[in-house]
Amino acid sequence: MKLPGNMQAMMQQAQKMQQKLQEDVAAIRVEASAGGGMVTVSMDGNKKCLAVKIDPEAAGDAEMLQDMILAAMNEAFNKVEEQSKAKMSGMLGGMGLPPGMF
């Protein structure tokens, strides 16, 4: 199906914007810590864990260590979500869509 010229141009622009958004989100890097910095997690915009740093003092108590890792992972995940939403709303804001549409 052939779209009218203006509509086709809009679709191409939307595809370019989507690709740019995906690249911008993938480039996000966050770090989150728990236990006063005893556990630190690094995560990218695709929510892939890049690194986990554990202070040797935290290794003695397995249950506490598990809780700190979980807390740091959840915090990193939330930071990625916030930054992704900010990038998305910034990009979609330029499209002139009504507020709350995305």
pLDDT in tens, 6-40: 888 888 888 888 888 888 888 999 999 999 999 99
Closest by CA position to 29, among listed 41, 39, 17: 41
Distance, first Cα to last Cα, the chain: 27
Count, in order, helices (H) and strands (E) of the chain. 2, 3
Closest by CA position to 25, among listed 51, 47, 40: 47
Class for the domain spanning 28-82: alpha beta
Can you tell me the distance from the alpha carbon of 98 to that of 102, in angstroms, rounded to the nearest whole number? 9
Please, what is the average pLDDT of the chain? 85
* pTM of the complete model beyond 0.75: no
